[in-house]
Structure 1
C-alpha cells in the first residue's frame, strides 16, 4: 500500500476518527485530513510541482506540516522533511544534494528568518505565514484536487529523503519508500499497542522520521496525535494534560519535565489516563526511568531503537518486565545479528540507500545487512541491548572504552542530573576519559552540593567499573547541548572541550 492509499483507506473506514489535533484547539478527522491534503496537493501543483519532483520542507510541528506531508504523498512528489533546528550549512547542503524543486518554510519562526535563508539557496521558495495563533483555516496554498495527476500506485519507489543530524560530518540523506516508512509503524502498533483511544502529544520535530512512523501508526490502528509547535518545560506538560494523554515521550528532558509537573500537582494525578512512557532518539538513563515510574505511576520508560536508515527496529511493550533495561524485541519481519559486537539489521523498514550512493558500500556488509554502528547484544529472550556507539569510544592506551557504559554508571550518582562522556586528547595515553556533568539536587550535601572528580571516581569504583574507565577529567556545565530528539551533540561538546581551560583533571 502507498502512503496515500493508507490515508485514503483510513478515511473510508473511519472517516470521523480524529487523527490529529493541536495546541490551538484545531483538529482533523481522517476524512478531513485526506480532503485537506488533496487541496494542498493541488496548491503545490499550481506552484509547478509534478510527480517525482523533490519538495524540501522545514516546518514546525503543526497541522500544516502534516497536511503538507500528506499532500506530497498524494501528488507523488519525493518529499524531503528537514528538522527546524537545521540552519544555512545543513539546509543549503541538503536542498542542493536533493535538487529540490520547491522549498517550503515558515517566513519566520521563533525569531529566525527561514524564508530569507531558503531564498539564498536558489530553488523556488514557498514561505508560509505561521506567526501568531492560527485561525480555523490551514495556512497552505490550495487548489481544485479534481485536476490532479493520478495518485502514485507503487510503494517501492523512493518517495522520502530523511537526513541525519550531521553531528560528525555532512548530513546523510536516507532514501525511503512508502513501504519502508509504513513498516516503521509496526513496532508502534504491535509493540507499544498504539491504537484507537490512544492520545499521544508530540512536541518533537514532526520532520524527524519518527513523525511519519507515528502518523502511519495512527492511520493504521487509530489514535490521535496532538501536535505542539514548541516545548516549554514549565507550561507544556500542563497543556498536554488537558488532552488526557495515554502515552508520553520521548527523551530525557521531556520526562524530567513531566515528572516535575506532576510534583507541582501535590498528589493529584496530572495524567490520569497515562499507560506508558516511551523513549526514542537517545537512551533514557536508569535514574530517569525510575523517576518516571515513581512519580507518574507507569512501569518506567519503555525502550525502543532505530535509526534514520532503519526506523523503529525494536521496541519494548507495556507488559515487559524491567522496562528500560533493553530496547525490546525486533518488530515484525526484522532480523538482528551481532558481528564483532556491532548490531546489524535486515527488515522491511530498511532504507534503499543514501542520496550520495558512494556511502552505500560502507552502510551494508557483504551479505546485505545494515551496519548500524551500534554496539550491543541479544539475550535469550530475543531482547536487544544497545551498549553504545562504535564511534563513541575513548581510546586510552589502545583500550576501547565505551562512553555509554561510563555514562550509565555516572548517571546513578545521586548528584548527577545529566552526563556525557567524551575522549579528550592526551600526550601520554592518547585520550583521557572526560565526564561533562550537569549537577542536580540530591547530592550528599543537598541542593548545590559540589560534585568532585574524586567523588565520581569513588562512585564508579564502588559500582565495579574498571579503574582505566573511570573519569580523569571533570567539567561541570549548566546543560548539555542536545538535539530536539534528545541526543547529545558530541561535536559541539568536543569543540567546546578543545578550547576549555581544562576543568578538574586527575
Structure 2
C-alpha cells in the first residue's frame, strides 16, 4: 500500500476516511453508472445532505436502519450518510423475499426500512408494509435531503458495532453478523494491499452493494482514489458496453463471473473482450485451477482470487506477483494482522477484519474458540510460503464406508474435462455405504453428453483413487445458484437427489 493509502487507512471511522479522501482529491471520480458520475467531493457533500434528511426523519446515532436496495449511486450515498450519522445499518440483499427480510427486520429491530419501490417486477414497498416494517421510505431515484448544519458531530471511534450483515440461510434462518467501521476498513485495506491498484485504474461493482463486498470495495476506492462502475443488473453480453465505455481495468466478482466472461470471450477468440481489462479479481466461492488457466490463456489478463466470508470480508488474496502455481492452486497469503491457525484441518481466524460475532450470543459462543479464533468450517492447510490451500468444507466431506472424500478434489479434476462446464460433487445418503458420491454436471453447449462410465474412466486416468469415484452422475441444464455471488447451492442438489438410487 502506498504512503497516502496507508495514511488514509489509519482513519478511525468510515466517515473519516470519506472526509480525508474528499480533501485530498475532491474532483476525482468515485462512482460511475450509465451516464452519471460522482466525485469524492460530491460523495462527501451529498452524503452529508442525505444524513441531514435522515436526521429530519428521526434517525439518530445508534438508530437501526435496514435497507434493501440495488447497486446504485443512491445506495452508496445512503450507506455513507448512515455512516456519517453513526446509525446502525443492516443491508439486505435485494433478491431476498418475505421470509428472509421479515427475519432480518425482526432480529435487528429495525426502526427504519429503505426500499426501492417496485424493482424488477417486485413491489418491495408492498412487501415492507405486509411485514409490518417501521419507518418505510423509498430510496431509488430520490433520497432524504436536509441542511448539514443540523447534524451532530460524526462518530469519533470505529470500534462500535454499526453494521449487521446477513449470512445466507438455505436450510435455517440467516445469521446476523456484527461488524464495525474498523473491521470493514481492515477488510478493504487487505483487498487493496493484494490487488495494488493505482489512481489510473477503473474498477467495477457488478454484485449487490448490499453484500459484504460492497464496503470492502468502497474502502479500496477511498484508499487509492480511483473509480468503479456500478452495475444495477449484471448480465452478459449486455453489460459489456458499460465495461468498454468506462474503460474498466479491474473486473470480476466470483468464479461464476469469471466463467461468464470466459464464455463470452470464446464467442470471439483472438479479440480482446474488454480492451482495457488487465485483471479479474474476486472471491466468495472456490475457483478450480483450470478456470484460472483458461482465463489467463484465453482472455490475456491476470486472475487473482481471494478467500473471504460475511464474517471476515477479506482473509487471503492472491497477489499479481505470485507464481503461476500459487495463483492457480492457493487462496493467497493473509495480510499483516490476519492470523490463520489450522486446528484438526479446520481454518481458524483472528484479526481486525474478523466480525465481532452474531446477533445471537449463543451463535457467537459457538463460533469462537477459547483463544478468540473464529471457526470457519473450511478445511485447509498452509504451505511453506505461507499460502493457504483450501481443501473443502466440513459439510462437503463425503464419508463413504468410513473414508473421508473431498468433494473439491473431484470437482477440480472434472473441471478439466472438455465436456464439463461446471460441476458440483455431493454426498447422498446410502444405506450400505453411509454416503455415495454424486457428480452433478452442467455441460457447455454443443458438448457430447456425458455418461457415468466416461466420467469414472476419465477420473481413473487422472489418478483418482477408486474409492473416490462417483457412483452417480446427474446432468443438468443449469446448476442452482445464489443471487449474490452466484455460488452453487449444494443443499438444493442434495434435496433433489437424496431420494434417488442409481
Scaled by the length of structure 1, what TM-score is found? 0.93
Q: Separation in 2 of the partners of 1:268 and 1:418?
A: 24
Within 5 A, what are the aligned runs for 1:113-128? 113-128=123-138
Confirm or deny that 1:96 pairs with 2:100. no
Unaligned runs of 5+ in 1: 131-137, 442-446
Query: Aligned match of 2:19 in 8, 33, 54?
Result: 8
Within 5 A, what are the aligned runs for 1:345-360? 345-360=349-364
Query: How big is each residue's C-alpha offset from its partner over 1:384-409, in whole Å with a ceiling of 9 and x where there is no partner?
Result: 11111112222212222222222112
Cα offset, 1:120, TM superposition = 2.1
**Contact 1:438/1:477 (<8 A) preserved:** yes
Cα offset, 1:465, TM superposition = 1.4
SS in 2 for 1:395: strand
Match of 1:478 in 2: 477
SS in 2 for 1:372: strand
Confirm or deny that 1:342 pairs with 2:346. yes
**Contact 1:189/1:195 (<8 A) preserved:** no
**Contact 2:269/2:298 (<8 A) preserved:** no
Unaligned runs of 5+ in 2: 1-11
Q: Separation in 1 of the partners of 2:350 and 2:158?
A: 18
Q: Separation in 2 of the partners of 1:126 and 1:100?
A: 10
Match of 1:316 in 2: 318
Match of 2:213 in 1: 210
Query: Aligned match of 1:17 in 17, 28, 50?
Result: 28
**Contact 2:256/2:485 (<8 A) preserved:** no
Q: Separation in 1 of the partners of 2:372 and 2:463?
A: 38
Within 5 A, what are the aligned runs for 1:374-453? 374-441=378-445, 447-453=446-452
Q: Separation in 2 of the partners of 1:102 and 1:230?
A: 25
Cα offset, 1:70, TM superposition = 0.2
SS in 2 for 1:176: strand
Confirm or deny that 1:245 pairs with 2:248. yes
Query: How big is each residue's C-alpha offset from its partner over 1:78-107, in whole Å with a ceiling of 9 and x where there is no partner?
Result: 010111121111111111000001111111
Q: Separation in 2 of the partners of 1:448 and 1:437?
A: 12
Q: Separation in 1 of the partners of 2:459 and 2:266?
A: 30
SS in 2 for 1:185: helix
Cα offset, 1:266, TM superposition = 5.3
Scaled by the length of structure 2, what TM-score is found? 0.94
Cα offset, 1:110, TM superposition = 0.8
**Contact 1:108/1:129 (<8 A) preserved:** no
User: Which segment is superposed worse, 320-329 or 236-245?
Assistant: 236-245
- CA RMSD in angstroms, aligned pairs only: 1.6
Q: Separation in 2 of the partners of 1:492 and 1:3?
A: 38
Query: How big is each residue's C-alpha offset from its partner over 1:322-352, in whole Å with a ceiling of 9 and x where there is no partner?
Result: 1231111101211111111111111110111
Within 5 A, what are the aligned runs for 1:16-35? 16-22=27-33, 24-35=34-45
**Contact 1:201/1:245 (<8 A) preserved:** yes
Q: Separation in 2 of the partners of 1:257 and 1:394?
A: 29
Cα 1:243–1:325 change in 2 (3 A) is: same
Confirm or deny that 1:38 pairs with 2:48. yes
Match of 2:191 in 1: 188
